Structure 1
Amino acid sequence: MSGSPLRLAVIVGSTREGRFGPTVGTWFAGLAEERDDMTLDVIDLADHSLPSALSATPSNEALEVLSAVTPRLDDADAFVVVTPEYNHSYPAPLKTLIDWHYAQWRAKPVGFVSYGGLSGGLRAVEHLRPVFAELHAVTVREVVSLHLAWEQFDEDGRMKGESGPVAAKALLDQLAWWGNALRDARAESPYGG
């Protein structure tokens, strides 16, 4: 498996009206697409109205929505979660996506691109780390944190400064290392945790 491009799923976690997530997600996805060692799948949760009531036997409507998302998570070797910070945490639709799935996260790396006011969304990231640890995912240390994010992009969605791309490269490099290592390990011996 080493040598084949890593399948990276970028999850845009905000669904609020007027959200800034698509700007951040598009910017980050553009940087990831420039790499030869990754293929990209952007999953915007605003396009998938996952039911908030979890059920062991999902309704036909829930199964239809899940069928558009679950195979994409299954196929991913690594994830990047693009999240704002709402009330010192992350958005409910993101938690819903996480909770509807289990095996899809196991033994795969997760990175974070956060955005917000002065904290840059870092409190949302710190809440997500133990959630993904419970699901046997590996969160990478490097984070892209965009403080006062709406001031860092021009009206066309292009980032004004250079610090974001530098942080994004560090995050993607770590994801590539962990993604390849864990993909090889899963291929050699299925994860049984």
Structure 2
Amino acid sequence: MTTPLRLAIIVSSTRDGRFGPVVASWFTGLAERRADLTVTVVDLAETPLPTTITGDPTPEQAAQLAAVTPKLAEADAFVVVTPEYNHSYPAALKNAIDWHFTQWRAKPVGFVSYGGISGGLRAVEHLRQVFAELHAVTVRDTVSFHNAHGRFDDGVPKDPEACERAAGVMLDQVAWWARALRDANARTPYAA
């Protein structure tokens, strides 16, 4: 049997009263049902990172990074759960991305977005460009919740069948890329 893929789910919103944990909890439950995945959740609100990058990390910054960096490094793939703030993604996510480089390299990234009328898709489009610069591979299909607060009832989407189908397609793509890239890296390490 193939070794399960290690999926890191990143909850990117850190605001008080955030809706991200509702979306992330639902999605994490779906991902954990899959035999081909082991799941780790990295909630940026629970693992605050340094906000100033000035060369090598100070001892205090290194301690903050130690809560996140190994989880990202060990992952074979990522799914970012993100809201849309001002037509883009949260500053905490940009900070987490910028503190890390090799951890993203040659790994797939999927997206679960939520927000107002656009469902967070403008944040996803910005993130695709950022992850391309980091030599990560973003998958085409996403899970998107427009007017997200009204789309959930007791932590579950009101249209669970369609939402689970979309999540399944995206996770299949993430798993395919993760397996292909993990195997390729084992044969020939990726050179940036």
Range of TM-score over shorter length: over 0.9
Q: TM-score, normalised by structure 1?
A: 0.97
2:7 aligned with 1:24: no
- SS, match of residue 9 in structure 2: strand
User: What residue in structure 1 maps to residue 64 of structure 2?
Assistant: 65
Q: Distance in 1 between matches of 2:134 and 2:156?
A: 34
2:90 aligned with 1:103: no
Which deviations, in whole Å up to 9, do the C-alpha atoms of 1:112-158 show, x marking residues without a partner?
Answer: 0000011000000000001000000000001001111111111x211
User: What residue in structure 1 maps to residue 169 of structure 2?
Assistant: 170
Q: Distance in 2 between matches of 1:152 and 1:140?
A: 24
Structure 1 unaligned spans of 5+: none
2:37 aligned with 1:38: yes
Structure 2 unaligned spans of 5+: none
- SS, match of residue 169 in structure 2: helix
| 178-187 or 160-169, larger mean C-alpha shift | 160-169
Q: TM-score, normalised by structure 2?
A: 0.98
What is the deviation of 1:55?
2.2
Q: State the identity %.
A: 65
User: What residue in structure 2 maps to residue 117 of structure 1?
Assistant: 116
Q: Distance in 2 between matches of 1:49 and 1:40?
A: 20
What is the deviation of 1:164?
1.1
Which deviations, in whole Å up to 9, do the C-alpha atoms of 1:18-73 show, x marking residues without a partner?
Answer: 00000000000000001000000000000111111112221111100101110000
- The alignment covers a number of residue pairs equal to 191
Amino acid paired to 2:14: T
Q: Distance in 1 between matches of 2:109 and 2:77?
A: 6
- SS, match of residue 95 in structure 2: helix
Select the residue among 157, 160, 166 that pairs with 2:158. Answer: 160
| 53-62 or 176-185, larger mean C-alpha shift | 53-62
User: What residue in structure 2 maps to residue 81 of structure 1?
Assistant: 80
What is the deviation of 1:105?
0.3
| 7-16 or 51-60, larger mean C-alpha shift | 51-60
- Taking only aligned residues, the RMSD between alpha carbons, in angstroms, comes to 0.8
Q: Distance in 1 between matches of 2:68 and 2:54?
A: 17
Q: Distance in 2 between matches of 1:125 and 1:163?
A: 20
Q: Distance in 2 between matches of 1:3 and 1:141?
A: 25
